[in-house]
Structure 1
Amino acid sequence: MTTKDERLDFLQEMHDVRRIRRPNRADVKAPRELTPGHLERQRAALDQPRRDTNPLTADAVELLTAHDILSWQRPGIQHGVFRKLRQGQYPIEARLDLHRMTVDEARREVYGFVQDCVRYGVRSVLVLHGKGERNPDKIAQLKSYLAKWLPELDDVLAFHSAQKHHGGTGAVYVMIRKSDLKKQLNREAHGGD
């Protein structure tokens, strides 16, 4: 709290201060001139569209229906391991829901999801793709593309349509390979070379 004398001292010190009057509008300056380097970078960006590094095919695929079962395994996967996957006996460590996505959106999501699974050591996942039963032609479009995409990814070891309680033919169990780091840690822990 200020005293009367302090207030009077302040007013005396400020007696010749005047308010700055500014127009009530924005101070707009002309844009800077673009340098030749800036123009060249713009031209190069327009000439070379961003390269798509996603290996998943965007071409036409064999169309599947709601009740088609997805099943695939890479050579060398043990029968018992694939059977456990098929029966949903591995814990589901992550899920990806593709419902209401376009094919292009799903393509990006599947690719990124599998990469993330490898990076974080996630081995057993569930991908929900839907059955396509509401489509007038009864074609399960995302399911059809997923059946094509998963074998194209080296990190996918096997997949199979899910058990009924996990979505049945509207979902798929996917087994992901171990990351190189996990393999190394496993070898060190168990004394392997």
Structure 2
Amino acid sequence: MSLDDDFSALLGEDVTPLKRDPIAPKTATKPSAAAIEARRRAALAATGGDGNPLDSADQPPQLQPYDFLEFVRPGVQAGVYRNLRLGKYELQARLDLHGLTVEQARTALWQFARDCQKNGVRCALVTHGKGAGREREARLKSCVAHWLPQIDEVLAFHSAQRHHGGLGACYVLWRKNSETRLRTAEQLEQSRKKLGR
């Protein structure tokens, strides 16, 4: 029994199956130079035109000059965050944003983040100032608090201790890069061997 016979038996003699047109195989087409350029321009526009994924922060959530900055990603141990807050980690890099425009600070912070990750920095200090008494108070401080969580490599940040700038600066804890993780794993392995495990 053919497929047509099965179809007729199921639905009756007066119903006939639709005829199918042969389907042409799809052929891969290479995008045109204009399409590639349009995609490139769209990607640059999405990242602010300079490859920087931090948004322009025209209107970040407004902080006050004497507000504390605090942020921690899920999974960061409470003791690690406490030590960061207390300024117990060695500061391996510093960035001072005083005197910069918002756009200059945005560019500087993104470049600093890339440099810290490349060089295996774990803890850094970002000085943004309090911005007290300004026309738009705490503008850079508000922007920094808005931008840092957008950087995947930032695990946590908190306003600094007084001797490091207090409420005008913050400690930033960075995720380990692959080289640092490998070095840590090697050190753990050596420690295990010494202990005879």
2:146 is matched with which residue? Answer: 148
Report the RMSD for the aligned CA atoms in angstroms: 2.3
Question: Residue by residue, what CA displacement relative to the aligned partner does 1:112-143 show, whole Å, maximum 9, x if unpaired?
Answer: 10110111111110000000013035x20011
Match of 2:79 in 1: 80
**Aligned twin of 1:119:** 118
Hey, what does 1:106 align to over in structure 2? Answer: 105
Amino acid at match of 2:89: Y
Match of 1:187 in 2: 185
Q: Which amino acid aligns with 1:133?
A: A
The answer for unaligned runs of 5 or more in structure 1 is 1-43
CA distance in 2, matches of 1:180, 1:85: 22
Written as runs of structure 1 = structure 2, the 5 A alignment for 1:64-79 is: 64-79=63-78
In 2, the alpha carbon distance for the partners of 1:89 and 1:65 equals: 26
SS of residue in 1 equivalent to 2:132: coil
Distance 1:127 1:134 in 2: 21
Secondary structure at the counterpart of residue 175 of structure 1: strand
Counterparts in 2 of 1:1-193, with a 5 A limit? Answer: 51=44, 52=49, 53-59=51-57, 60-137=59-136, 139-191=137-189
Distance in 2, Cα, partners of 1:75 & 1:49: 32
Q: Which amino acid aligns with 1:58?
A: S
One-letter amino acid of the counterpart of residue 106, structure 2: R
Letter in 2 for 1:113: F
Distance 1:72 1:48, change over 3 A: closer
1:62, distance to aligned residue in structure 2 (A): 0.6
Letter in 1 for 2:145: A
Partner amino acid, structure 2, of 1:88: G
Measured against aligned partners, the alpha-carbon deviations of 1:4-37 in whole angstroms (never above 9, x if no partner) come to xxxxxxxxxxxxxxxxxxxxxxxxxxxxxxxxxx
2:148 aligned counterpart, secondary structure = helix
**Could you tell me the TM-score, scaled by structure 2's length?**
0.70
Could you tell me the percent identity over the aligned residues? 46
For 1:61, give the aligned amino acid: P
- In 1, Cα distance between equivalents of 2:92 and 2:41: 39
Partner Cα distance (2:66, 2:77) in 1: 26
Shift of 1:48: 5.0
Q: Which runs of 4+ in 1 moved over 6 A?
A: none
Number of equivalences: 149
Following superposition, the deviation at residue 50 of structure 1 comes to 9.1
Distance of 1:136 and 1:166 partners within structure 2: 25
Q: Determine helix, strand or coil for the equivalent of 1:95.
A: strand
Structure 2 gap ranges (5+) = 1-36, 191-197
